[in-house]
Amino acid sequence: MAEPLVRVQNVFKSYYRDRLEIPVLRDINLDIARGEFLGLMGPSGSGKTTLLNLIAGIDRPSAGTIMVDQQDIAKLSDRQMANWRSRNIGFVFQFYNLMPVLNAFENVELPLLLTRLSKSERRRQVETALGVVGLSDRMDHYPNQLSGGQEQRVAIARAIATDPDLILADEPTGDLDKQSAEDVMSLLVQLNTEYQKTIIMVTHDPRAAESAHLVQHLDKGELAEREAMR
Amino acid sequence: MKVLKLISRNTVRHRLRTSLTILGMAIAVMAFCVIRTAIIAWYASAETAAPDRLIVRNAISLTFELPISYGDKILEIEGVNAVSHASWFGGVYIDPKNFFPRFAVDAESYLAIYPEYPIPEEQREAFLRDKNSAIAGIQLADRFGWEIGDIITLQGDIYPGTFEFVLRGIYTGAKENTDEGTMFFHFDYIDEVMRQTLPGRDGSVGTFVVRIDDPARAAEISETIDALFVNSLAETKTETEEAFTLGFVEFSGQIIQGLQVISIMVIGIILLVLGNTMAMTARERINEYAVMKTLGFRGPHIVGLILGESVVIAVLGGLLGLGLSWLVIPGMRAALSVFLPAFPLEPITLILGFAAALLVGILASVFPIIKALRTSIVDGLRIID
């Protein structure tokens, strides 16, 4: 059996507020296969985003291990973790989080500045990424000159610019109208099917969840039922 | 290169706020430079002092006078080659606000000892010939529109009475920092009036000016002069002209200390102005910094962004402030020439002003940097614009 791309083992996560421990995740065990499109669903406060953040390496578990492509990311230093994220993770946020002072091209180029690519190589990657999301004609547009759907597509282009295996999306359609949401979901499905990207997506939207292969439910910090979607 | 682009674009992101901050910085840097220049100007008078001149005054205080007869005794001391005297006249010219220094002097010897007050030969001769005549510096003459032959009336206070002087000469300072705002006239004229109106008030002078052969012997000759009048009714205190002038500056010590405190406070104010701007900026961008960290950017990148923006604003404000100083200080020099003949905007002042702006730029970014670095990615991402 092939090694999963992501393996979450016995993970606990607690936050502290005024010395009061608030458990968020309890004993999470989860394998995500390479090329899988997993939806994470659950009520607010169930720990979906926290689990996503742990897999993304932007937060650390209180206990347990998280292996991504056989790398125990919890053992990485902050510096190693930052380098690891830049090479292996594409992150899509609910509110796009583009830099308002940079145009679409420059926003997509941002993660590539941390690589050793030459200027022409970066340009080629950016143009490819923007081509994939269908925004080749919007390269010079600033975020405030784009619609919400277009902004999210630029954000997706930024997430795939470094060609990571794993794309993590935190409610990518949460701030979009129905049509834009469908466009974004089509794009994520395309990345999954055509480009073999492994995608983990947190969502509240059952329609968005239908695009995933599997939906893993969480409830009160624990894994609940898992359902196959397509 | 891209980081520089990001810094420059972030800097102009809130144009009004950035402009006001730069303007505030500029005004503060200008104030710093003006205050520094004023302090330098205060001490500059001592720089015009000649090393071969000694000043003899009453040991008790400058307000006490010395018998005019002391002059001949001082002249007999070995190493002394000339003696003159000068007395602060005070008085009022038309209105008390028309202040300028006025000295009653022994004209011929005084002009000989002070070659930095040159006047044309025919004017000099006319001045020496006419006992109720006066000479004035060119700045003073320009200030009141005086011309040769004008009658200048002073109302005396230290020397009570009304005194009329005919302007016989106008001097232009021999050096750039020579005082050109003073009026000199004959002590004999004042003394004669005193003899007639206030007998007993005559025959006393404020200070003696002594020219010596060898500046290296200044201390020795000073001691000799003072020893000559020890246990007399008017003991003397003799010092070099530079020490005497610095003594005057020390009279204003509290004002100078006040100015120095204000100049430091100005730096503090600009630190607060820029610090406030940078704190607001960093607070607004915590989410962006979190996104950048998510993408793989690390602490040094975030430090570079915040520090760079702070320094750019500080440097722009500093340069504008130096430019304003360069424009304003010549005008102040003209306005204050009577009180502070030298008001030089020196390179060291410009360097200090720029360095202060740069330092403020660095310091103002410290707290925003700490805040940005301490905020975890997760907390930063929770903040929505």
> Which of the residues B8, B13, B291 would you substitute to probe the A interface, choosing the one with the greatest number of A C-beta atoms within 10 Å?
B291
At B242, the pLDDT band (50, 70, 90 cuts) reads: confident
Identify which has the larger pLDDT, B40 or B375.
B375
Which pLDDT belongs to residue B214? 93
Taking the alpha carbons of B308, B309, B312, B314 in that order, is the dihedral positive or negative? negative
Cβ contacts of residue B57 below 8 Å, gap of 6+?
B66, B206, B207, B208, B236, B237, B238, B244
Count of CB contacts below 8 A, A vs B?
Answer: 57
Q: Round to whole Å and give the CA distance between B156 and B126.
A: 24
- Amino acid at site B76: E
How many CA atoms lie less than 13 Å away from A66 in the CB half-sphere?
Answer: 23
A144 and B CB contact within 8 Å: no
Q: How far apart are CA A83 and CA A73, in angstroms?
A: 11
Asked if residue B383 has pLDDT above 80, the reply is no
Whether chain A has a CB inside 8 Å of the CB on B381: the answer is yes
User: At residue B210, does pLDDT exceed 80?
Assistant: yes
> Lowest-pLDDT range, A1-5, A38-42, B280-284?
A1-5
Name residues whose C-beta falls within 8 Å of residue B232's C-beta, 6 or more positions apart in sequence. Answer: none
Around Cβ A10, how many Cβ atoms within 10 Å?
Answer: 12
Convert A151-183 to b/e letters by CB count within 10 Å (16 or more is b).
Answer: bbbbbbbbbbbbebbbbbbbbbbbbbeeebbbb
Q: How far apart are CA B118 and CA A76, in angstroms?
A: 82
Other CB atoms closer than 10 Å to residue B383's CB: what's the count?
15
pLDDT tens for residues A39-80?
A: 999 999 899 999 999 999 999 999 999 999 999 998 899 999
* Cα distance between residue A208 and residue A155, in whole Å: 17
Provide, rounded to the nearest whole percent, the portion of chain A with pLDDT above 70.
Answer: 99
Closest chain B C-alpha to A210 CA, distance in angstroms: 27
Between B246 and B148, the more confident residue is B148
Instruction: Flag whether pLDDT at B385 surpasses 80.
Output: no
Distance CA(A209)–CA(A197), nearest Å, equals 17
Residue B346 has pLDDT above 60, yes or no: yes
Give the residue from A78, A59, A76 showing the smallest Cα distance to A14: A59
Q: How confident is the model at residue B337 (pLDDT cuts 50, 70, 90)?
A: low
The answer, yes or no, to whether ipTM is higher than 0.85 is yes
Residue B127, pLDDT above cutoff 60: yes
What is the distance between the alpha carbons of residues A59 and A181, in angstroms, rounded to a whole number? 28
Q: Identify which of B232, B210, B271 has the alpha carbon closest to the alpha carbon of residue B60.
A: B232
- Six-digit token pair at B187? 């002590």
| Chain A residues within an 8 Å CB radius of B298 | 78-79, 82
Contact B291 A93 (CB under 8 A): yes
In this prediction, residues B364-384 reach a mean pLDDT of 89
User: What is the structure's pLDDT at B256?
Assistant: 81
pLDDT at B250 over 80: no
Whether B286 and B381 have beta carbons less than 8 Å apart is answered as: no
Question: Taking CA atoms, what residue in B is nearest to A159?
Answer: B295
In sequence order, what are the beta bridge partners of A63? A12
On the question of pLDDT at B260 being above 80, the answer is yes
Could you give the CA distance from residue A184 to residue A152 in angstroms, rounded to a whole number? 7
Angstrom distance (rounded) from CA B22 to CA A207: 51
Out of 3.40.630.30, 3.30.390.30, 3.40.50.300, 3.40.50.11310, the CATH code matching A6-228 is 3.40.50.300
Q: What is the pLDDT of residues B145-200, one digit of tens each?
A: 999 999 999 999 999 999 999 999 999 988 777 888 899 999 999 999 999 998 88
Chain mean pLDDT for chain A: 93
The token duo for B165 is 């002087």
pLDDT at B341: 66
* Nearest by Cα to B37 from B345, B383, B274, B373: B345
**Chain A residues within an 8 Å CB radius of B294:** 56, 58, 85, 91
CA dihedral A70, A74, A78, A81 (to 10 degrees): 20
Query: How high is the mean pLDDT of chain B?
Result: 90
The residue among A114, A126, A167 with the most chain B CBs within 10 A of its CB, best to mutate, is A114
Cβ atoms B176, B23 nearer than 8 A: no
Confidence tier at B384 by pLDDT (50, 70, 90): low
Residue closest to A152 by CA, chosen among A197, A91, A199: A91
Burial grade of B164 (CB within 10 A; 0-12, 13-18, 19 or more):
exposed
Kindly write down the DSSP assignment for every residue of B185-253, as one continuous string: EEHHHHHHHHHHHSTTSSSEESEEEEEES-GGGHHHHHHHHHHHTTTSSS-EEEEEHHHHHHHHHHHTH
Q: What tokens does B140 get?
A: 């003073």
To the nearest whole angstrom, how far is the Cα of B264 from the nearest Cα of chain A? 36
CA distance, residue A90 to nearest chain B CA (Å): 8
Nearest-Cα distance to chain B for A126, in Å, is 15
Q: Which residues of A touch B305 (CB under 8 A)?
A: none
**pLDDT value of residue A202:** 95
Task: Output the six-digit token pair for A214.
Answer: 């599997």
- B354 versus B341: the higher-pLDDT residue is B354
CA A187, A191, A193, A195 dihedral sign is positive
Residues 6+ apart with CB under 8 A from B215: B51, B52
Which secondary structure element, helix H or strand E, spans residue A86, and what is its range?
A: helix A78-88
Tell me what pLDDT residue B199 has. Answer: 87
Query: Tens digit of pLDDT for each residue in A206-221?
Result: 999 999 999 999 999 9
pLDDT for B39: 85
Whole-number pLDDT of residue B339: 66
Query: What is the Cα–Cα distance from A12 to A179, expressed in whole angstroms?
Result: 38
Q: Which candidate in A17, A53, A58 is best for mutational testing of the B interface (most B CBs within 10 A)? A: A58
**Would an 8 Å CB–CB cutoff place A117 in contact with chain B?**
no
**Torsions phi, psi for B14 (to 5 deg):** -110, 85
The answer to whether the CB atoms of A86 and B287 lie below 8 A apart is no
What pLDDT shows up at residue B46?
Answer: 65
DSSP letter, residue B133 = E
Which residues, 6 or more positions from B301, have their beta carbon under 8 angstroms from its beta carbon? B3, B292
Share of residues in chain B with pLDDT > 70 (%):
96
Q: Give the angle subtended at the CA of A211 by the CAs of A210 and A214, to the nearest 5°.
A: 75
Cβ distance B296 to A111 less than 8 Å, yes or no, reads: yes
Query: Beta strands of chain A (E only): which ranges?
Result: 6-17, 20-32, 37-41, 63-68, 71-72, 89-92, 166-170, 198-202, 214-219, 222-228
**Residue A97 at interface with chain B, using a CB cutoff of 8 Å:** yes
Q: Is A109 on the interface with B (CB under 8 A)?
A: yes
Sheet order of strands, B161-171 included: B151-156, B161-171, B133-137, B183-186, B102-105, B80-88, B207-212, B53-58, B236-240
Confidence of residue A229 (pLDDT cuts 50, 70, 90): confident
- Rounded Cα distance, A165 and A192, in Å: 10
